[in-house]
Structure 1
Amino acid sequence: MLIESHNNPFPRRSDVETLLEDGSYKEIVSIFAEQGVFLLGRKQIMPDLMTRFAFGEDFYERVFSTLSKATYGISITGLRVSMPSGINLLTFLQEQIESQQPEHKYEPKITQVFEQSKNVLAKIQYTKLNPRFSEYRRRDIYQIEVSASKINEDEVEFRTYPKTSTDSLVARDVIIASLDKINCVPNSMDLEELPVQSRVDLFDQILRGTPGAIWRVDEVCGLTVRAGTPSSGADNDSDVEQSLDESDVRMLQSAILEGKNLRDHKIVQELLNDEFYFSAATFWASKPGVGGSLDQYKVRIEFKKKPQVLVVNVSDSRSPNADNESWEFQDLSPNIGRETIEYFWNEVHLKYTGCRERIAEGARRVRRRETP
């Protein structure tokens, strides 16, 4: 049990710290708010705040269940890196087998590497302190799989399908540690490296879609904004995030459908003035170009900060009823779910790269004008 039966209704600090290891604590703020307690602060001070409240064993068991649940649906995350064209991915990853990271809190290591189709797969094992037995320092063993494939002669993509945010963190850290050994640095997918206006433009392009593309965005149902000074770097951006009101989301969706730029909308201008920018979007997407299917899939694109990765998730599917005025929700097919996230994963990469290239070209033009 999270709270032992020793007549102490307060949780131990070690229990709370272990529960918050995954870096996802938004849900816990909502749960406390239901009890009339409103928490505001960074993750680092949450253990001190939470241990001051005694709601009883059942309440903290609910907190445990909420924070330790796996990601719903199917997710994808990863990174891309420029590597020497002559490198053999199979050999490179095999050389990392059993390479320990003793300083890493999850003690990850690659345990197996093999070829499958055109990809190289690496199995990674890590251990994690069990929150229910943190007093006894009991660690559970987990395993994730990372695939590596060449996109072109000079670029390699590493991707995984995480079930928890810890999976994302471990996969990222293991691959980066392996790349460090050959002096390769992953290509950035960091929102904070874009000017604030370009961050808005990126989400504008994602939600607007590509003309003639197989997939299209049908309905925007959620937008998340993050606080951060536009001129600041990633180290100075805060962890504060919030979801836009439904009415604001509907107005922005109307603007997109009308072909207007998001950055010109009054709501977005107010957000920028208050030093907020988009960090995630949730929407329903369909694939009408193939067989005229009207089925829709709920997709979330999120630029996470901890760990600092791009995650694309698909969580639900629905079909229109005969009257075309209501929806019937269905079980998500693993095959179509994976196809969906891989499509939008590639789309976000393409549009992010386009933003970076336009920024670089703009800088070159300025330098040319300034050169006598």
Structure 2
Amino acid sequence: MNDDLVPSRLSPADVLRVGAVGLRARRARVVLSALGIAIGIATMVAVVGLSESSRADLMARLDRLGTNLLTAEAGKDATGRRIQLPENAVAMVERVGPVLHATATADVDARIRRSDVVPDERTAGVTTQAARPDLLTALGGRVAEGVWLDPARERLPATVLGAVAAERLGVARTGETIMMNDIRVVVVGILEPIELVPTLDRVAMVGFPAAERYFGFDGHPTTVFERSTDASVEDVRAVLARTISPGDPAGVKVSRPSDALAAKAATDEGLTTLMLGLGAVALLVGGVGVANTMVVSVLERRQEIGLRRALGATRGAVRLQFLTESLLLSALGGAAGALLGAAATYGFARVQGWTAVVPPWSLAGGLGATVVIGVLAGLYPAVRASRLHPTRALQAV
């Protein structure tokens, strides 16, 4: 009749219940062990989330600013002297078929001072440039206060300051005056920061006619800005230098300002990889902590294991019990870490003014990693527990 006896098997619900009992009996140790897993998962989820949020914000900025802006600057010739772009450079560029808009700025030899009592050498790091009335439209810039140079104001001793220039000169509102050489010029506008061309933030801009009339400007532009259709940017880029300076195209430097933002995205991606590596190290340390907890748990519960074995529990049931405890412990840390990482992402993104993005795959990947860690960390303690002989285990003190 004994041949008909079949060892009973634990149902999945019983396995979970038995594993949870083992964790509840050692709550402080469980919390500390799960904390290592939680830190690792939170780091990885937050790093991915913040990287994706930053990238989404960057892409939104690029969409808003446009990636079809090209700049052509006067370079230097073989002797090291700066070449001159032709006065009709803008008109020449506008004749290129795909070009939608072209404008220019030019360096002006005028020293900036806050007032006539400031020494000539105290320029506050602000330079002067001539600008066309259509410059702001081409660059997608905006006026923070006052007005931009229109066809009337571009002929007068009036200036529009970049955001940094206004701060350095201590100009807080329009209507104030500054000195350009020995000429008092009225500030008619202050710009918001120009993301695509940040060098203009440190410039005081006057109109081309005013620069020629008051500061001896010769009319040759220094930088030409061009916008074309998105599909033709590279084609225009290839011919822009030859169009502006047919005799010396090598002396014209052509660039796309949005490339700097794209390079920033690539740098952020490299930093994300580094931070993910640090998160993986933290997760590994957490896994070692779980394994250590489970080994100590086996040593402390030898009598419990021996009693279960004496009552008929199979080695497989014992292995399953301790493996379940390890999985539950890792899952507890993983779930807490995923929530903490998501919360950190949303909090930081809100402070930065970004749209928070937490990819679902990062949460799923984090929880999946905890399952793997739980299995690896609990496998050895579970096997060790199943190999304890009932008699020796019951004799343990």
Give TM-score scaled by structure 2 length: 0.20
What's the TM-score once normalised by structure 1's chain length?
Answer: 0.21
Higher relative contact order (CA 8 A, sep 6+): 2
Q: If each structure's strand is expressed as a fraction of its own residues, which one has the higher value?
A: 1
Q: Which has the larger radius of gyration?
A: 2
Task: Tell me which protein shows more helix as a share of its residues.
Answer: 2
